[in-house]
Amino acid sequence: MEQLIDEIEGYAAAVNRSPEVILRAAISASWSQWGKWKAGTSSPTMRVVDRIRAYMAENPAPAEQERGAA
C-alpha cells in the first residue's frame, strides 16, 4: 500500500493536482477515500489499483510526455 500511495503522491505532484483529484478522475472516488487509504482504515482492490495506474499511464505528467516525444 505504501508503494501505491507513493506512486499517487508522486504523480499528483508532477501534474500539480491533489491525490484526491487524481482518485476522483481515475475511479470516481469519494473525496474522503484518500484519507482513509493514508490512515490505513481502508484499502483498494487490485482492480481499483489497476484502474488508477492505467489512468496515470494514459495521462502522463508533462515532463514524461516530453521525454516520450524525443
Q: Is the confidence at residue 11, as pLDDT, over 60?
A: yes
pTM: 0.86
Structure confidence at residue 57 (pLDDT): 97
Cα separation, 51 vs 20, whole angstroms: 15
Burial label, 19 (beta-carbon count in 10 A; 0-12, 13-18, 19+): buried
| DSSP class of 41 | S
Q: Convert the pLDDT of each residue in 20-65 to its tens digit.
A: 999 999 999 999 999 999 999 999 999 999 999 999 999 999 875 5
3-state secondary structure at position 10: helix
